[in-house]
Structures are given as C-alpha cells and as structure tokens.
C-alpha cells in the first residue's frame, strides 16, 4: 500500500495504484500514483539526445498517454527527499506495467455535484476521504459489537419481510408476495420485543430498515442501516440511556484511537470521546431553554423541530461542553403506542431522542409491557388489535419490563465527520429518486 512506503528505506520497491496526474515535461515526467491509502510521486527522467530532443523510449512514451484512473504496477528506486511535497518521498521509475487501462474521459471531477458523484459512486469512493469513512464505520460497528458480546448480548437477524407495519402505516413499502402482499420492515421493533418475551434478555441487531419516506432532506433515506438494542428487567428509560451512552463511548473511543489522526488530516475534525453521563433534559424544559435563547418551537408542535434541536445542542455545548444530549419524556401524542407512559402523567412517555451535534440520531424508550394498557394505547392510536394480534400475544404469557433504542448508523457518521448529508456516508444511498447503482 502506498501509505506504507514512507516507512521503507531508500532502495528498490514495487507498488500498484491508479494514475492520478501526469506532468509531461521536456526532461522529466512526473506521475502521481494513488491507491485508497494515499498518493506518491513517480519520476521518470527522459532520455534526450545531444540536442536535448527526447528520444523515444519506454516507459516514457506510454506514460505520456496514460489516462487518469488507469491501474498500473511500477518498479523503481524509492528515495526520501524532504523537498518532495507529497509525503517527502518519490520513486524513480524502472518499469511501468498497465494492468487495466481507463477510458480517458473521467465522468466525475472533484467539483462534481453530489448527485453526479453518486451516479459514479465506484469512482467517487476511490478518494481516500471516502475510503476512510467506511473504515471508520467498520471500526465503530466492531466496537459496538465487542461491547455487546462482552456484556453477554445475543445478536439477532430479524426478518425484513413482514405481514404488517412495524412503525406507522404512513411510511410503509408494500411488496407483492406470491398471491398476497408483504411489507418491508421499518424497524426490528416487534421482533426485538419478542426476544424479551422469549427470555433472550439482552439483544442487538445491525441491519437494514426501510421507510417509504418521500422527503429529500439530508438525513433521510428510504433504506438505512439501523443499530438496535433491547434489554430486559429495566426500571425506566434511564437504564436504556445508560446502555446507549456506554455504547457511544465504546464506538467513539475505538474510532479516536484508530482513526483520530487521519480524521483530523482529511476532514479537519477532532473525534472526541464523550464523557458520561450525557446531559438528560426533559423535552418541556428543553423548549423553555431554547425559548429563553430567542427561538420558540412552533406552538402546535409537540416535537422538537430541527432548528430547536440545533438550539438545544448549542446550549448543551456551551453549558456542558458536550456534543450529545438526551431529550426525554416526549408527548404521548407523537410517540408510538408501544412507548410506556409516565405513572401519574399519561401525556408524556418514558422515551428519549439522542441528539448529536444538533441532529437526532436515535429514539429509545421503555416499552409498555402490560397487555391491557398496551392494547388500549394501540386502539387510541387508531390501530386494529386484530392486525397486530401476533405482537400482542408476546405480552400475554409473562414478559419482563424492557426497553431499547434504534439508531441510524449513517446519521452518526455524518455528524461525527461534519458531513452535510447521509448520502456522503452511505455506501449506496437509496432515496425517492435513487435506486441505482
Ligand atoms: P425511529 O423511527 O425514530 O425509531 O428511528 C430510529 C432512528 O433511525 C434513524 N432513521 C432514519 N435514518 C435515515 N433515514 C430515515 N428515513 C430514517 N428514519 C429513522 C434515525 C432515528 O433516530 N423502533 C424505533 C426505535 C426504538 O424505539 O427502539 C424507531 O424506529 O437516526
């Protein structure tokens, strides 16, 4: 790999990569060679005759015609020279072999629109910044998984084809299923709760979720990776928040240790491991706080709108120096039927949203496990209990108190790396007008 070259002593080397640029000068040729780890400069002094005229020679002739993106293998002499801007090393070429030629007209450039870059995602992903994003994703997921396994969680793979909705009916993809129809899972919600009734106690799943959401915001996709966890024997949603923050600390610690320097170099972003506990602010109080800062969440809005989320994040950053905040106790009117409501005040739920750098990344809650209450809440939300009969059965045979959360993986990465859209951090984005590549 190119990034490993600088650790080698001067001497013969062999390396492969994509041709990035060719500078064809009279007496010397410079080629910048890239791979996913970095770039290196190749030099090829040209052979000239007594009058300074270039004599046709190899590899000079073939170098002149190399198109950007051509994949080559070269051999040569590595030399450390601090005057070389690109990493302080260069390779004096001995041989150059074209492994796979590229068409000369590259369809995208550094300033291409995001949409155009997504059309040509495999070329876009060659950029070391993009490559790093998916290394970070791997490290983050691995750290979460390690935490779960060390704490005795069971990993589940729940079905993505379902007979009913798993969240609201509004964002449901319907698919033909033999002589009937099925729905794509909007979340593993029902099945992770089923696991609690099955005695699995502590579970997690990292898998696809589908939402027929027609919006074109920077944080919505029609298919996204959902990070889910669910635990039994809890006292309240506070226990879920504690698990959630421990997981974030595990993930951010691993990313900081493994990629902190690269993130600083390529994104100019500091990866900070959050301190625990994260600030926890009831939603009603958060609304008062943002109001005192001059922003009033629209009156008829039981939720916190995106501007409100940004405002409360700014307050938390100033007051606690924290990038995360749990907003708790959302109104029952805007939460799903399965969220438990507070004893003594049924208008608010034992739920939370986790806000990171001003945007929601997660929703969690204690679940209602008392069947009569659960059924009544479902009816109140306009659901027909017969349609969710199978789900309701989980609560008819003895089920522990439990709760959990769902978190959008791409949102975490987008906000961690200060990217403008989840499209940048999703390997292949799916949206209302994008089904390819
Ligand atoms: P919710 O619907 O809030 O809760 O989703 C949880 C998290 O998933 C992410 N997310 C999305 N990411 C990209 N595109 C979308 N269209 C999209 N929709 C949601 C967000 C969000 O915070 N079952 C509950 C969770 C639970 O209570 O366990 C649920 O799905 O980051």
Model pLDDT, residue 96: 93
Query: What is the number of the ligand 1 atom nearest to the C-alpha of 365?
Result: 27
Q: Whose CA is nearest to atom 10 of ligand 1?
A: 408
Do 172 and 300 lie in a common domain?
yes
Query: What interface predicted TM-score (ipTM) does this complex get?
Result: 0.99
Query: What is the number of the ligand 1 atom nearest to the C-alpha of 215?
Result: 16
Indicate yes or no: pTM above 0.90.
yes
Query: Taking 80 as the threshold, does the pLDDT of residue 394 lie above it?
Result: yes
Model pLDDT, residue 265: 95
Do 159 and 90 lie in a common domain?
no
How many structural domains compose the chain?
Answer: 2
Q: Tell me how far apart the alpha carbons of residues 46 and 57 are, in angstroms, rounded to a whole number.
A: 8
Q: For a substitution probing ligand 1, which of 211, 239, 408, 413 has the most ligand atoms within 8 Å of its CB?
A: 408
Q: Is residue 293 part of a domain?
A: yes
Whole domain around residue 92: which residue ranges? Answer: 2-100
Do 11 and 135 lie in a common domain?
no
> Which segments are annotated as binding site for ATP?
360, 408-411
Which of 100, 131, 154 is the endpoint of a domain?
A: 100
| pLDDT tens column, 202-244 | 999 999 999 999 988 999 999 999 999 999 999 999 999 999 9
Q: Tell me how far apart the alpha carbons of residues 31 and 307 are, in angstroms, rounded to a whole number.
A: 48
Two tokens, residue 172:
């449901």
Do 133 and 86 lie in a common domain?
no
Q: Is residue 224 part of a domain?
A: yes
Q: Is residue 437 part of a domain?
A: no
The CB density around residue 182, as the number of other CB atoms within 10 Å, is 17
Do 175 and 296 lie in a common domain?
yes
Do 256 and 378 lie in a common domain?
yes
Task: Write out residues with Cβ below 6 Å of ligand 1.
Answer: 167, 187, 189, 211, 213, 220-221, 224, 226, 360-365, 404-408, 411
Q: Rounded to whole angstroms, what are the CA distances from 375 to 194, 395, 396?
A: 16, 10, 11
Selected residue with higher pLDDT from 55 and 20: 20
Q: Where are the alpha helices (DSSP H) in 362-433?
A: 371-380, 389-393, 409-416
Q: For a substitution probing ligand 1, which of 406, 410, 428 has the most ligand atoms within 8 Å of its CB?
A: 406
Do 234 and 370 lie in a common domain?
yes
Residue 270: half-sphere exposure toward Cβ, Cα within 13 Å: 4
Model pLDDT, residue 377: 96
Q: Whose CA is nearest to atom 28 of ligand 1?
A: 405
| Proportion of the chain above pLDDT 70, given as a percent | 97
Q: Is residue 172 part of a domain?
A: yes
| pLDDT tens column, 26-80 | 889 999 999 988 899 999 988 766 776 665 556 666 788 899 999 999 999 999 9
Do 70 and 140 lie in a common domain?
no
Do 76 and 123 lie in a common domain?
no
Q: Whose CA is nearest to atom 20 of ligand 1?
A: 408
Q: Whose CA is nearest to atom 1 of ligand 1?
A: 363
CATH of residue 75: 2.40.50.140
Do 81 and 147 lie in a common domain?
no
Which of 66, 100, 134 is the endpoint of a domain?
A: 100
Looking at every residue in the chain, the average pLDDT score rounds to 94
Q: Tell me how far apart the alpha carbons of residues 193 and 174 are, in angstroms, rounded to a whole number.
A: 23
| pLDDT tens column, 81-101 | 999 999 999 999 999 999 999
Do 8 and 131 lie in a common domain?
no
Model pLDDT, residue 60: 67
Which of 69, 100, 131 is the endpoint of a domain?
A: 100
């Amino acid at each position: 790999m190119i990034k490993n070259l600088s650790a080698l002593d001067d001497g013969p080397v062999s390396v492969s990569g994509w041709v990035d640029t060719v500078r064809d000068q009279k007496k010397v040729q410079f080629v910048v060679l890239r791979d996913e780890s970095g770039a290196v400069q190749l030099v090829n002094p040209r052979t000239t005759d007594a009058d300074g005229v270039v004599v046709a020679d190899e590899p000079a002739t073939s170098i002149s015609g190399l198109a950007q993106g051509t994949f080559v293998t070269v051999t040569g002499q590595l030399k450390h020279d601090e005057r070389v801007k690109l990493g302080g090393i260069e390779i004096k070429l001995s041989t150059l072999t074209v492994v796979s030629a590229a068409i000369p007209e590259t369809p995208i450039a550094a300033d291409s629109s995001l949409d155009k870059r997504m059309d040509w995602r495999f070329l876009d992903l060659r950029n070391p910044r993009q490559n790093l994003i998916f290394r970070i994703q791997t490290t983050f997921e691995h750290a979460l998984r390690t935490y779960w396994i060390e704490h005795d969680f069971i990993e589940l793979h729940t079905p993505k084809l379902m007979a009913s909705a798993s969240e609201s009916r509004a964002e449901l993809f319907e698919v033909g299923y033999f002589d009937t129809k099925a729905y794509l899972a909007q979340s593993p919600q029902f099945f992770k709760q089923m696991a609690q009734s099955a005695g699995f106690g502590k579970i997690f799943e990292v898998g696809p979720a589908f939402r027929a959401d027609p919006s074109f915001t920077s944080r919505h996709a029609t298919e996204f990776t959902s990070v889910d966890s669910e635990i039994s024997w809890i006292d309240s949603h506070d226990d879920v928040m504690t698990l959630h923050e421990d997981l974030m600390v595990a993930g951010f610690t691993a990313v900081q240790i493994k990629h902190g320097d690269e993130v600083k170099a390529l994104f100019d972003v500091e990866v900070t491991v959050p301190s625990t506990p994260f600030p926890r602010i009831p939603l009603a109080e958060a609304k008062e706080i943002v109001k005192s800062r001059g922003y009033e969440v629209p009156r008829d809005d039981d939720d916190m709108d995106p501007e409100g989320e940004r405002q409360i994040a700014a307050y938390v950053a100033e007051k606690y120096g924290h990038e995360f905040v749990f907003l708790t106790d959302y109104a029952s009117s805007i939460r799903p039927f399965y969220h438990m409501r507070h004893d003594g005040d049924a208008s608010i739920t034992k739920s939370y949203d986790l806000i990171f750098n001003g945007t929601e990344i997660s929703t969690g809650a204690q679940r209602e496990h008392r069947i009569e209450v659960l059924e009544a809440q479902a009816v109140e939300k306009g659901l027909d209990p017969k349609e969710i009969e199978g789900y309701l059965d989980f609560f008819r045979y003895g089920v522990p108190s439990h709760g959990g959360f769902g978190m959008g993986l791409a949102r975490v990465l987008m906000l961690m790396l200060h990217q403008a859209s989840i499209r940048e951090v999703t390997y292949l984005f799916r949206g209302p007008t994008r089904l390819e590549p």
